[in-house]
Amino acid sequence: MSGKSALRRELLAARRLLSEEDVRDASAVLAGRALDLPELAEAGTVAAYVSVGREPGTRALLDALRERGMRVLLPVLLPDNDLDWAAYDGAERLVRAGRGLLEPDGPRLGVRAVLDARVVLLPGLAVDGCGMRLGRGGGSYDRVLARLEEAATDTGMDAGPALAVLLYDHEVVDRVPEEPHDRPVHVVVTPGGTRRFTGK
C-alpha cells in the first residue's frame, strides 16, 4: 500500500468516527472563517463543491457566497473522472448523482468554466506544512489544477486563482506524500484557524 493510500485510509477512518453534531458544528465555524478570507471578498466567481457524508461542511458557505451575489460553480463528474461545471442556484436545485455526489441540475458550462473562478475551494483529506493536499485519489482535481496552471501560463499571469481547502484541525499533518503532478494549495481553513502557505 502506498503512503498516500495508507494516509487516506487513516483519515477516512477518523472522519467516520465524527458525529453528525461534530460535522454540523464544524461546518458553521468553517463557513465563518472561509467568509473572512480576503480572496473571497474580491471574487466574482468561486468554484466550490457540495460536501457529502462526514466531509467538512460547505453547504452553509455555498449559500452565504450566493447571498453575497457571487457566482458559485459546482463540479459535475464526467464518466472519465474529469469535471464539468454548473452554477449553484440553491440547495433545492441539487440532484443526487453517481458516487453519492450532489450536483446542480442546471446547464453544463464545460470543463474550462473553472477558469473564470478567482477562488477554487478544493475537497481534500489532508494538507501538510508546505500546502501539499491529499485528495481521494480519483485524479479529478489534478486535471482541474493542471488546467488552471496551463491557463495562467498561456495568459502570462503570474498566478491563477487562490486555491483553498477546508479541513478538520487534525487533518493538517506533518507531511503528505507527493508526486510530480501534485500542486500545493495557498490556504487551509479549519475550525481552529486559517493557515497560509508560501510554497517550498
Write out the chain's pLDDT in tens, 200 residues: 478 889 999 999 999 999 999 999 999 999 999 999 999 888 999 999 999 999 999 999 999 999 999 999 999 999 999 999 999 999 999 999 877 889 999 999 999 999 999 999 999 999 999 999 998 878 899 999 999 988 877 766 656 899 999 999 999 999 998 887 788 999 999 999 999 997 54
Are 199 and 131 in contact by the 8 Å Cβ rule? The answer is yes
Residue type, 185: V
Which CA distances in Å does 59 have to 31, 45, 88, 105?
8, 17, 11, 16
User: Which residues are known binding-site members for ATP?
Assistant: 4-8, 133-141
Tell me which H or E stretch contains 76: strand 71-77
Domain 3-196 part of CATH 3.40.50.10420: yes
Q: pTM value?
A: 0.92
> What does the radius of gyration of the chain's CA atoms come to, in whole angstroms?
16
User: Which residues are known binding-site members for substrate?
Assistant: 50, 55
User: Which residues are known binding-site members?
Assistant: 4-8, 50, 55, 133-141
Per-domain residue ranges for the chain?
3-196
